[in-house]
Amino acid sequence: MVQFLWENVLRKKRDENNVLSFLKKSFLFKDLTSSEVDFLAHIVHVRHFEAGEKIFTQGDPGVGMYLVFNGNIDIIMHDPSVEPRHSKIEEIFITRLEKGDFFGELSLIEDPSYRSASALSVTKSTLIGFFKPDLLQVIQRNPHTGNKIILRLAEILGKRLRETTEKVTELVTELNQVKVAEKGKSSEKHFTS
């Protein structure tokens, strides 16, 4: 029994050190000092998910972001034009996230926030949750630290917006090329008839 108690205490300390080390390496928190990351490690939330377990569903209120400590997470969207009660909703695979990746950061700054996609734990996974009340607590207790996090968050959102804009531009260009090709085929048919 005594050995079991010591193992739990030592395991808990080792887990705390692993979370602290993980947060120090995270892109979102890389500008923080050791003491700032230590403070942060005490307010984040470690959550465990089984394989196949939903983390959140598209349309749910967003309360914060998650960092993938271990495991794999699939991000999936549902076609919003399909009424759930009229037919089976088709899932559209967006991406698979792994250790070090993060998602849901928009909910830290958007008010109100609703999830734009669903997140599903593909394997047994451990996530570190950093929620809006946590960010507000950091800002209130140490505005300098809060500003560092918000600036890094703005950089991340800016990069994601730029990537999205580039992807939309590519898709619009491809769509326009398809329309021109179809119009050309239609003209050829009309001319040869």
Q: Are residues 125 and 191 in the same domain?
A: no
Partner residues linked to 97 by β-bridges: 73
pLDDT tens digit sequence for 89-109: 688 999 999 999 999 999 999
Q: Are residues 161 and 179 in the same domain?
A: yes
Domain with 114 in it: what CATH number?
A: 2.60.120.10
pLDDT tens digit sequence for 10-24: 444 555 568 999 999
Q: Name the domain count of the chain.
A: 3
Question: How many Å apart are CA 55 and CA 38, to the nearest integer?
Answer: 26
In terms of pLDDT, which residue wins out, 77 or 7? 77
Q: Are residues 28 and 84 in the same domain?
A: no
Confidence (pTM)? 0.78
Q: State yes or no: pLDDT of 162 exceeds 80.
A: yes
Share of the chain above pLDDT 90, in %: 70
Instruction: Give the Å distances, CA to CA, from 11 to 2, 6, 191.
Output: 14, 8, 78
Q: Which of 83, 101, 131 is the last residue of a domain?
A: 131
Q: State yes or no: pLDDT of 86 exceeds 70.
A: no
Q: Are residues 125 and 63 in the same domain?
A: yes
Over range 36-59, report the average pLDDT.
Answer: 95
Specify whether the CB–CB gap between 62 and 110 falls below 8 A.
yes
pLDDT of residue 185: 76
Q: Domain of 13?
A: 1-42
Question: Strand 54-56 relative to strand 118-121: parallel, antiparallel, unpaired?
Answer: antiparallel
